[in-house]
Amino acid sequence: MLAGDAMVAIALAGSLFFDISPHAAAPHVLLGLTLTFVPFVVIAPAIGPLLDSIAGMRKGLVLVSALGRVALCILMAGDLKSLLLFPESFGLLVLSKVYGVSRQSLVPEVVGEGVGGEERFVHANATLNFHGAVAGFVGSAIAVAVWKTPGLGSPWVLRTDAVVFAVAALYALRLPRAGARPERAGLGRPGLASGGGEDWTPVIRGSSERAGAGRTSGEVATDPFGTVPVAPPPPIGPPQGAGGEIGTEELGAEVSVSHRGLRNKIVKQKMAGLFAAASAMAVLRAEVGFLEFLLIFTLRRQHYALIWFGIVLTGLTAGSVLANALAPRVRTRLPEEKTVAAALAVVCVMSALAGWSGGMLLQALLMCVTGFSTGVAKVSFDALVQRDTPTRRRGTAFARFETRFQLVWVMGAVIPVAFTFPVRWGDAAMAVAASVATVAYLSRWRAVTRRARR
């Protein structure tokens, strides 16, 4: 899929940006940025709930995304000089986003769940992204070779791309069916509730049923996270009290209410931590868009050689690839929450250093570091969503988070396109935003942790 996306980009790439002045190019770039966000407006309210409502829909939408792009690539090959190219390109972009959300939702079903699931999620996400980046390089090379061949050009790049998406459709048929593995809502954490009626029973440490051992009188257990106190289970049978016997039905109702309250408390704690991580991730995505377009338009306005565009964009790509290669190793040393905070801190320090120096080579290094930090944080954040979000809500969660991330990326990119200011000012703004976001995220995370320990 990602090799095909890269080939589409090569086929549709034009020289308009380089043939006209930066001032004249700005409206076209702003329009393009807006169009990148529009597909998420479709995905969030429609595709997310659809992924969660029907069993097997995630695999089905991956297949539909591949087959739909086969048809659109063939149509676009004949409509490159027609107005039909624009709705066809839009449909291609929507299908690309549908695949991205479906893929993220499928990871837990493919790799399996259980103890240590979050570590497997980080490794799986990083592996997918790394192989996707390599496939993108290969697809780009093939597309450039076809495009430069006399008599072929962009139409045959798109026809070749249709073959690539057809191969992707064949692999989509081999994806596992949903529900093949029994699962609890908390990935690798049996006590996390899914909410909404799914089976959930808190694990009482020391009970004979769960741990194979009895409980001494007065012992207090904790939930599987080791954070929320859980009262010891009542004795089996109708207990005697001052007011007479209590029926077993009333006792069962009491225990059920107690379990429901504990479940809701755990869910609120996990969701609070997840939304704090999402806010930090949004700042990183905004800074990537801001820095990318700040450097590109600065290079155009100051008439840098074309090689500098390659250096800057290669730095961003290299940082992303390196992030996916090293993310599993980072996970062995830092949990996902601390990884997100560390990524913000690294961007803050590097932005301040680049702003102090001001050289374009250090700006390219800043682009590489920002791409690396954002890539590592994104892999960790995806693992958090896969771990802490109930299965039947996972597609909706990914669709909504990706919509917000794309929106803030566009907002960050619009600023240097619409306004002209020195690169050093942009570096300083990035350093301030990253530092504030780091402090805010750590404060919220510690507050959630303290509440969990009560």
Model pLDDT, residue 260: 55
Model pLDDT, residue 346: 95
Q: Using CA atoms, how far apart are residues 378 and 284, in angstroms rounded to an integer?
A: 9
- Over residues 224-234, the mean pLDDT reads 41
Residue 196 has pLDDT above 60, yes or no: no
Is residue 160 within 8 Å of residue 28, measured between CB atoms?
no
Domain boundaries, the chain: 1-176, 221-232+257-454
Lowest mean per-residue pLDDT among 4-8, 181-185, 325-329, 429-433 = 181-185
Is residue 52 within 8 Å of residue 396, measured between CB atoms?
yes
pLDDT bin (cut points 50, 70, 90) of residue 174 is: confident
Q: Using CA atoms, how far apart are residues 312 and 366, in angstroms rounded to an integer?
A: 9
pLDDT bin (cut points 50, 70, 90) of residue 180 is: very low
- Phi then psi for 443, rounded to 5 degrees? -65, -45
The DSSP letter of residue 81 is T
- Over residues 51-59, the mean pLDDT reads 73
**Number of C-alpha atoms within 13 angstroms, CB side, residue 18?**
8
Model pLDDT, residue 249: 45
Model pLDDT, residue 187: 38
Is residue 337 within 8 Å of residue 269, measured between CB atoms?
no
Q: Do domains 1-176 and 221-232+257-454 have the same CATH topology?
A: yes
Q: How many CB atoms lie within 10 A of CB 247?
A: 9
Judging by beta carbons within 10 Å of its beta carbon (0-12, 13-18, 19+), is residue 446 exposed, middle or buried?
Answer: exposed
- In this structure, what token pair is assigned to residue 239? 């207990």
Q: Using CA atoms, how far apart are residues 140 and 156, in angstroms rounded to an integer?
A: 14
Q: Which of 65-79, 98-112, 171-185 has the highest mean pLDDT?
A: 65-79
Lowest mean per-residue pLDDT among 259-273, 275-289, 353-367 = 259-273
Lowest mean per-residue pLDDT among 15-24, 119-128, 264-273, 319-328 = 15-24
**Which contiguous run of DSSP H or E holds residue 430?**
helix 423-453
Q: How many CB atoms lie within 10 A of CB 360?
A: 18
pLDDT bin (cut points 50, 70, 90) of residue 242 is: very low
Render 151-172 in DSSP notation, one character per residue. TTHHHHHHHHHHHHHHHHHHHH
Residue 71 has pLDDT above 90, yes or no: yes
Model pLDDT, residue 223: 37
Helix (H, G, I), strand (E, B) or coil at 244: strand
pTM here is 0.68
Model pLDDT, residue 85: 80
Q: Using CA atoms, how far apart are residues 52 and 105, in angstroms rounded to an integer?
A: 9
Residue 221 has pLDDT above 90, yes or no: no
Q: Which of 11-20, 26-35, 37-46, 433-442 has the highest mean pLDDT?
A: 433-442
- The domain made up of 1-176 has a fold known as Growth Hormone; Chain: A; (1.20.1250)
Q: Using CA atoms, how far apart are residues 50 and 54, in angstroms rounded to an integer?
A: 7
* CA quadruple 436, 440, 446, 452: dihedral, nearest 10: -160
- Over residues 262-289, the mean pLDDT reads 80
pLDDT bin (cut points 50, 70, 90) of residue 452 is: low
Residue with tokens 């530092």: 435
- Phi then psi for 245, rounded to 5 degrees? -75, 150
Q: Using CA atoms, how far apart are residues 79 and 11, in angstroms rounded to an integer?
A: 12
- Over residues 270-293, the mean pLDDT reads 89
pLDDT bin (cut points 50, 70, 90) of residue 13 is: low
CATH 1.20.1250.20 fits 221-232+257-454, yes or no: yes
pLDDT mean across residues, the chain: 75
Residue 387 has pLDDT above 60, yes or no: yes
Lowest mean per-residue pLDDT among 48-52, 85-89, 150-154, 288-292 = 48-52
pLDDT bin (cut points 50, 70, 90) of residue 61 is: confident
